[in-house]
Structure 1
Amino acid sequence: MPDFKGLDLTGKTAIVTGSSRGIGAAIAIQLGKRGANVVVNYTSEKSRTRAEEVANKIQSLGQKASVCQASVANIKDIPKLVQSALELSESGKIEILIHNAALGVDANLDEVTEDLFATHFDTNVKGPIFLTQAVIPHIARGGRIVFVSSAAARLGVAGQTVYGATKAAGEALVRVWAKELGQSHDITVNCVNPGPVATDQWLESDDQFREDMQPLIESTPAAARIAEVDDIAPLVAFLCTEDARWTTGSVLSANGGLYN
């Protein structure tokens, strides 16, 4: 009889930042399908309904879920995420932390402003650093931390001076924390790096950006298309499982073969 216990997340508690829509929502639901209890995070009031729909989906799978309005860019909001997870937890611990929330506004170098720089680094870099710092005292041995990166970290996409830099910074944090948190805390830290994905962020990007990306999309080895969120979420979920225990400090490229 098949044994997939190494992929089971039953009873574990997860925080998924930016999980009211897109890749984050797909990750939260995928973790719920594998048995995890999930904190669904959203930032603005207009996203509350979407966050509640994600939580309801997880609950319909038989797992616990709660919604938490918090911006990782705001240090004062971070304790709300930790507390929400602890209230949901069956073990008194947090087992999984997914850094998915991100800003990604396109801007060429000559269009970059100090405000754009600050808001992106606050959300995409500062937020994960201080949220992880707050979670570490509560994370279980054998815990999992996973970042959602982007092709922009490696591919050199025009218009992504700041966004690309923040995603490259996230991949650097993965490598550093894998060493800092490995033997000392028995925590693995990894990253999934998608190529273009059919999310709201993609649909909201300007026509010129999508036109520039079209040759790249058409050359994708796996298929001449952009990814769907359900192409990405299972890979994130896998890195949260016991079967992924010997993988840490790694970047899993989820881009249909565009690059390694």
Structure 2
Amino acid sequence: MTFTSSTDQHGPSLSANLCGKTAIVTGSSRGIGAGIAAELGRRGATVIVTYTGEGSRQLAPEVSGTIEEWRSGGKGITLQADITSAVDRQKLVDVAVDSGPTKKIDIVVHNASNGDDCYLKDITDQFFERQVDVNMKAPLFLTQAAVPHMPRGGRIVLITSAAARMGVAETSVNSATKAALESFSSVWATELGQTHGITVNCVSPGPIATEQFHNSSPEFKEALQPLIKSTPAEARMGEVNDIVPLVSFICSEESRWVTGSVISGTGGMLLV
């Protein structure tokens, strides 16, 4: 797996502005999560790189290895954790606290997601509960567990999706959970702002060329083609490196006056 720093495509090297910070990035063995973890590490953070299943066991250490290769002072720590499990969520928090230079958790990026597609007529209780557990319940309770360990200036980022507003077939549950995360963001920004000094924001990608997208149903991918071809920024799908800089900005000190926001990473797709 190869990771490209945002600076490789967008000009001079940025300062290591996250040195001394500790970050949790869920679902960070592949796709957008891997890109985010690698970039936060490149900027100097200690990053807990999480994965769930055996299929990602080989991938997560590659992300951690990339962080070490940047030689920016960042560190990658690989951890297997099922974020739908209360025990594993606490383990994740404990490892982050123990591993960081300040024994605090400065950044939590909720990236892990179940994006399975299903027509309304085929949705089962099991399908519904699986998506809600991963996409809504886990971020809520992981945030609850992490906040007591977060200092003022902490950052919480939720990776949502333009699917919350697109009305694409087969996304009844997934789009609803993404909309819920955007609601979490505005509520938590109020609850955690003045009292805790923590900002909470969403980054909302459009279709991104990841393994998860390529594994979607042919009908789902076909339905998106007209939107992709008419994307204002360029007639293409988004890439991981289009989203990563948005997240790293939200994690930085420069974003201190941004909270409760949903930052669009769609190339203007929903403007057409």
SS of aligned partner of 1:128: helix
After TM superposition, the score normalised by the length of structure 1 is 0.96
Identity across the alignment (%): 53
Aligned residue runs from structure 1 range 111-122, under 5 A: 111-122=122-133
| Aligned residue in 1 for 2:47 | 38
Query: Any conservation in 2 of the 1:65–1:88 contact (CA below 8 Å)?
Result: no
CA–CA distance in structure 2, aligned partners of residues 149 and 97 of structure 1: 14
CA distance change for structure 1 residues 218 and 3 in 2, over 3 Å: closer, same or farther?
Answer: closer
Find the aligned partners of 1:80 and 1:234 in 2 and give their Cα distance. Answer: 29
CA distance in 2, matches of 1:85, 1:253: 29
- Could you tell me how far apart the structure 1 residues matched to 2:13 and 2:243 are? 24
Of 150, 156, 164, which residue of structure 1 is paired with 2:167?
156
Q: Which amino acid aligns with 2:30?
A: R
Matched, 1:207 2:222: no
Q: 1:109 — aligned with what?
A: 120
Is 1:18 matched with 2:27? yes
AA at the equivalent of 1:98: V
Match of 1:178 among 152, 174, 189: 189
**TM superposition shift of 1:46:** 2.1
> What does the per-residue CA deviation read over 1:53-90, in whole Å, with 9 as the maximum and x for residues that have no partner?
10111111222111111111112210111112112210
Amino acid in structure 2 at the alignment position of 1:128: P
SS in 1 for 2:263: strand
Within the candidate set 61, 75, 79, 1:68 is matched to 79
* SS of corresponding position for 2:195: helix
Q: 1:136 to 1:111 in 2, by over 3 A?
A: same
Contact 1:227/1:255 (<8 A) preserved: yes
Task: Tell me by how many angstroms 1:4 deviates.
Answer: 6.4
In terms of mean alpha carbon deviation, does 30-39 or 96-105 score higher? 30-39
Cα distance in 1, alignment partners of residues 153 and 54 from structure 2: 34
What residue identity is the alignment partner of 1:79?
A: Q
Further displaced range: 62-71 or 236-245: 62-71
- For structure 1, list consecutive stretches of 5 or more residues without a partner in the other structure: none
CA distance in 2, matches of 1:49, 1:75: 25
Match of 1:126 among 134, 137, 142: 137
Residue by residue, what CA displacement relative to the aligned partner does 1:116-167 show, whole Å, maximum 9, x if unpaired?
A: 1000000000000110000011011100000000111111111100000110
User: Paired residue for 1:82?
Assistant: 93
Could you give the per-residue CA deviations for residues 158-182 of structure 1, whole angstroms, max 9, x where no partner exists?
Answer: 1100000110000000000000000
Distance 2:191 2:167 in 1: 29
What is the deviation of 1:3? 11
CA contact (8 A) 1:197 1:229 kept: yes
Report the Cα offset of residue 259 of structure 1: 2.3
TM-score of the superposition, structure 2-length normalised? 0.92
Equivalents in 2 of 1:181, 1:39: separation in Å? 23
Q: Distance in 2 between matches of 1:232 and 1:4?
A: 16
Query: Does structure 2 conserve the Cα–Cα contact (< 8 Å) formed by 1:98 and 1:147?
Result: yes
Q: How many angstroms does 1:16 deviate by?
A: 0.1
8 A Cα contact 1:11 1:36, kept in partner: yes
Structure 2 residue corresponding to 1:216, chosen from 217, 223, 227: 227
